[in-house]
Amino acid sequence: MPAPFLDRDLYVRPIDAYIDPPVPRARAIITHGHADHARSGHGAVLATPDTIAIMKARYGEDSARQFQALEFDTPLVVDDVTITLKPAGHILGSAQVLMEHQGQRIVVTGDYKRLPDRTAQPFELAECDLLVTEATFGLPVFQHPDPLDEIGRLLRSAAAFPDRAHVIGCYALGKAQRVIALLRDAGYDAPIYLHGAMIRLCELYIARGIPLGELKPTLGTSKTELSGQIVIAPPSAIKDRWSRRLPDPVLAVASGWMSVKQRARQSGVELPLVISDHADWNELRQTIAETKAGKIWVTHGREDALVYHCRQQGLEAEPLNIQAFEEGEEGEPDAPGESES
Amino acid sequence: MRRFAQLMELLALTPSRNRKLEALTEYFRETPDPDRGFALAILTGALTFKNVKPAILRDVVLAEVDPHLFALSYDYVGDLGETIALIWPHHGGTEPLPSLSDLVELFNMTSKTELPRLIGSLLTRASINERWALVKFATGALRIGVNARLAKTALAAMSGKELQEIEEVWNGLTVPYTDLFDWLSGKAGRPEIDHTARFHPLMLSNPIDEDKDLEKLDPADFVAEWKWDGIRVQLIASKGRVSLFSRTGDDIAAAFPDVTESVFGDAVLDGELLVGPDFEPLPFNDLQQRLNRKVAAAKHLADYPGFIRVYDMLFDGDEDIRALPWSERRQHLENWFDKNPQTRLDLSPVLSYRDWEDLAEIRRRGAAEQGHEGVMVKLRAAPYLPGRPKGLWYKWKRDPNVVDAILMYAQRGHGKRSSFYSDYTFGVWKGNEIVPIGKAYFGFTDEELKQLDKWVRNNTVASFGPVREVSKELVFEVAFDSAQQSGRHKSGIALRFPRINRIRWDKPASEAATLDEMQVFLTAT
């Protein structure tokens, strides 16, 4: 293929725009609302309506000079580049960016997953010449189980310990709503209690047409009332003073990282739930093959193993090493973070 | 296998000892023989498969997974067994895995050449969680925070028997312990065990209460010995076989061949395992070099030769003398030493004293001049009784040393304390700088813990992961049993058994101790 019209820092040369730039830029295309992809201070932002709503809720109405909404699967011609946002299945509004220019097709996946999730528009495959793929779970040890099985483990534990609260550490955007939706789909219809940091984004999801059932704040709820209940909180809160208001809590964390038991054990997680909003190793490989791309750039995660795999398959592959701080699911932040107390 | 995998996961992930205990008890109660016996054997480290080695599992996986990708994954996960369980690429599990007893049979009967194929098919049939438990079961490398004692405690809870009764028969039993479970569930009597192979629970002492006990006790009814600073052991020598057990009944003979191979004559002896040349004990730190090892390293055998300072006798030859008074047992013991000259056993000498004041002075001087931990005071008329009977054996420890030290770092605790900063590192002055001398996480009340937690949060100057550095303002009165020279710590001092005695909210940091003042605590040994 001819030299890509996309630079390695995801700068789209023909239209002078960046995809998910980590610093303020004049023109930005944003794949989804997580803070390592969407930040405030850009000039013009192009994104899906859901992503724009999330950015405005998190950073304020004027967090970019100008927002331009683009529906999924609706080609937009900018100069001689045609941009189409394809659903990525990661969180509400998350998109892959498909760009066509002089016969060359490039897809930037952003973060994505292919398992069904009713809180996000389902992933659509787009064939291309150059694929820029995420690699958060780019190691063969990451083979995500069926999330409903994981929810089953949570519900069994809740039944086994009726006097304890189950507190689930999840990110406020995406994971929290996914876990709530999975609980509802599994038939759990009791109120689910929310740490203060979760409330605003759950309300946003509901307002945008994702029903989540009855939600209540933990603030002002007595310890007795929380016995036997399920509570959703940011990971930083479950190990901090905030959790003392809960009756003998079972600490659960919902994340793709939880598959490694020895890690879960070391971080004091009693009930690891392997629920991920990213593609696992098998989905990453499947997607790379199905896009029929001959050239692969790997970013956001464990690039080494996926680059190695692509080269074994005879594909041209390189790591991008884009510097980004991770919100997504990486690690366990120790910062006091979003605290209610 | 499914039930065992659930048990293993719960044991690995729950930080609470009580909850682990409940889970084990329930498992042993519900699971039929012989499966529960095999589970017990795996949990206590009593079952290993000769041919199923980590290297074989690794080869099985490397036949299916690219070696470079495996290496990257292992590097990330850090545990070979878990890497194998997570990376296995085939998922065909409709047929359930065999029961534990069938697995044992399969692992033992399958030839080395057939084993890889068997393991591969089992890994494919397993669910993710079962695969993890299967690898642990096959290799015996559990790393789930369960030891033999916890498993035995669960057996006691399940049956209403005393832990001690179970420990007494334990070392004579064989996998899968059907006779043990028959006894525990009341279906049969207690298993008959040859005493020469079995551990006899130890007689333990109570701390003396100087204000209450001494005036009631007649010094002439008692004898005293030094309280030795090693580990308590039981040595069983019978017909050329020698076993060595720790106080909890763990067999530690393999780590001390220098001792076990030297024993001459038959007896069951109670004493203190120490290291040092010519019966001169070295500090406890040196003994530690030799503990918790499967085999003894040649260098350690040379640098830290082991010996046992014997203070009691349970069996003289085949004769059970536990019911005899101490004075007669001691006579048996001394006669036995006369008849059977020893190179790595010696007698703990009996101290002579006139009255309690005299013994107090002996105790004080022994601590100051020779670093003795204290003295043991034993009733001459006492039989050898297992457990901790009242009024027969006392330990009279030296007064603890105390030092005023400054809180430097605090770290979050575990389990119930995971939201509290409950582990404290403290230090003393060295010139204008403060150097750490130790770490303690108990000695304070729950209420004090709350206050300390709050103080730490309000006085943090830096955070490193789970550790907070605090401003150097708060003084602890730290009690400790002894201090030893240590090359590992910047201060050059290591404290034995430090605990927070008092929180000195009132005391300014400038008045805390200095490193120079600490030198007087260094033991003479």
Top mean pLDDT of A288-297, B111-120, B365-374 is at A288-297
Alpha-carbon distances of A237 from A232, A277, A326, rounded to whole Å: 10, 21, 18
Asked if residue A134 lies in contact with residue A32, where contact means CB atoms within 8 angstroms, the answer is no
Which residues in chain A touch residue B66, judged by CB atoms under 8 angstroms apart? 308-309, 312
What six digits make up the tokens of B469?
């550095």
CA–CA–CA angle A252, A256, A257 (5° rounding): 75
What six digits make up the tokens of B199?
């551990």
Q: How many CB atoms lie within 10 A of CB A203?
A: 14
Q: Which of B437, B418, B419 is nearest to B427 (CA)?
A: B437
Q: A140 to chain B, minimum CA–CA distance in Å?
A: 6
pLDDT at residue A336 above 50?
A: no
Least confident of A79-83, A202-206, B98-102, B200-204: B200-204
Per-residue pLDDT tens digits for B54-113: 889 999 999 999 999 999 999 998 888 899 999 999 988 678 899 999 999 999 999 989
Please tell me the predicted confidence (pLDDT) of residue A335. 31
Whether B13 has its CB under 8 Å from any CB of chain A: the answer is: yes
Which residues in chain A touch residue B70, judged by CB atoms under 8 angstroms apart? 140
Question: Under an 8 A CB cutoff, do A141 and B73 touch?
Answer: yes
Instruction: Annotate A29-50 with DSSP letters as a single string.
Output: E---SSTTT--S-EEEEEE-HH
- Give dist(CA A317, CA A9) in Å, integer: 15
Angle between helix B2-13 and helix B17-30 axes, rounded to 10 deg: 170
Question: Under an 8 A CB cutoff, do B419 and A302 touch?
Answer: no
Least confident of A76-80, B43-47, B338-342: B43-47
Asked if residue B85 lies in contact with residue B180, where contact means CB atoms within 8 angstroms, the answer is no
Which residues in chain A touch residue B12, judged by CB atoms under 8 angstroms apart? 261, 265
Which residues in chain A touch residue B83, judged by CB atoms under 8 angstroms apart? 141
- Give dist(CA A296, CA A309) in Å, integer: 11
What six digits make up the tokens of B385?
């009784």
Whether A239 has its CB under 8 Å from any CB of chain B: the answer is: yes
Side by side, the strands of the sheet bearing B374-379 are B206-207, B393-397, B374-379, B222-226
Per-residue pLDDT tens digits for B377-423: 999 999 999 888 999 999 998 888 889 999 999 998 876 777 889 99
Alpha-carbon distances of A16 from A10, A80, A133, A141, A216, rounded to whole Å: 11, 12, 21, 39, 45
What six digits make up the tokens of B327?
């004075």
Buried b (16+ CB within 10 A) or exposed e, A96-105: bbbbbbeebb
- Give dist(CA B226, CA B71) in Å, integer: 54
Q: What percent of chain A has pLDDT over 90?
A: 84
Question: pTM of whole model > 0.90?
Answer: no
Question: Under an 8 A CB cutoff, do B72 and A259 touch?
Answer: no
Question: Under an 8 A CB cutoff, do B73 and A305 touch?
Answer: yes
Per-residue pLDDT tens digits for A44-68: 999 999 999 999 999 999 999 999 9
- Give dist(CA A268, CA A265) in Å, integer: 5
Q: What type of residue sits at position B200?
A: H
Angle between helix A175-185 and helix A147-160 axes, rounded to 10 deg: 70
In this prediction, residue B362 has a pLDDT band, given cuts at 50, 70 and 90, of very high
Asked if residue B142 lies in contact with residue B136, where contact means CB atoms within 8 angstroms, the answer is yes
Per-residue pLDDT tens digits for B214-262: 889 999 999 999 999 899 999 999 888 899 999 888 889 999 999 999 9
Residue with tokens 């709820």: A221
- Give dist(CA B44, CA B161) in Å, integer: 19
Q: How many CB atoms lie within 10 A of CB B63?
A: 9
Please tell me the predicted confidence (pLDDT) of residue B523. 60
Per-residue pLDDT tens digits for A4-55: 999 999 999 999 999 999 999 999 999 999 999 999 999 999 999 999 999 9
- Give dist(CA B147, CA B144) in Å, integer: 9
Which residues have CB under 8 Å from B54's CB, separation 6+? B80, B81, B139, B141
Whether B2 has its CB under 8 Å from any CB of chain A: the answer is: no
